Structure 1
């Protein structure tokens, strides 16, 4: 994960896609803009899921077994949903880099916190 975060930091700098840190106003605008872009990418993941469910339902209506229909639908969206998830990850990494957070440390710390929760409804 550290390599991915470092790669992303360099890539975003090279492309001029870093979150602006010149001053509060520019940072605020850039953070909000990137947050909106992240939520757009998350919505595109939802669209791919909807597409898979619609494809599954269509195949079921044509007489296909439910499990087979869903397996085919998952395969059909695999490449596109992978791209959308990669877009989400890129925006998340941008936030990690802006706030100078270590993705790997944050992830593992959070997983320990979740494991120790009394209410583990997920």
Structure 2
């Protein structure tokens, strides 16, 4: 992740897409704009999931077994959902870089915090 974070910072600066730190007003506007763009990309991930579920239902209607239908649908959206997830990651990296947060350190610290929560779910989710 360190390499991806460094690449993202340089790339976003080259493209003029980094979050402004020129002044409070510009930073606020830039942060809000990037937040809205991130939420738009998250919605596009949801659209790809919806597409997969609709395709699955369609294939099942045509007589295909549900598991096989879902595998086929997942393969059909794989490229596009990968692109949308990459867009999400790019926007998230902007925030990490703007605030000077190291992605890996933050991620592992958060996962350790979650692991040690007292109020975590009793049943582990299925894979």
Q: TM-score, normalising length from structure 1?
A: 0.98
Partners of 1:50 and 1:119 lie apart in 2 by 31
The C-alpha deviation readout for 1:61-90, integer Å capped at 9, x for no partner, is: 001000000000000000000000000000
What stretches of structure 1 of length at least 5 have no aligned partner? Answer: none
Partner SS for 1:14: helix
Alignment match, 1:76? 76
Distance in 1 between residues matched to 2:29 and 2:13, nearest whole Å = 18
TM-aligned CA deviation for residue 119 of structure 1? 1.8
2:52: which partner in 1?
52
TM-score in terms of structure 2 length: 0.95
Alignment of 1:13-32 (within 5 A): 13-32=13-32
Q: RMSD between aligned alpha carbons?
A: 0.8
Which sections of structure 2, spanning at least 5 residues, go unmatched? none
Task: State the aligned residue count.
Answer: 122
Correspondences of 1:1-122 after superposition (within 5 Å): 1-121=1-121
Task: Give 1:120 shift.
Answer: 1.7
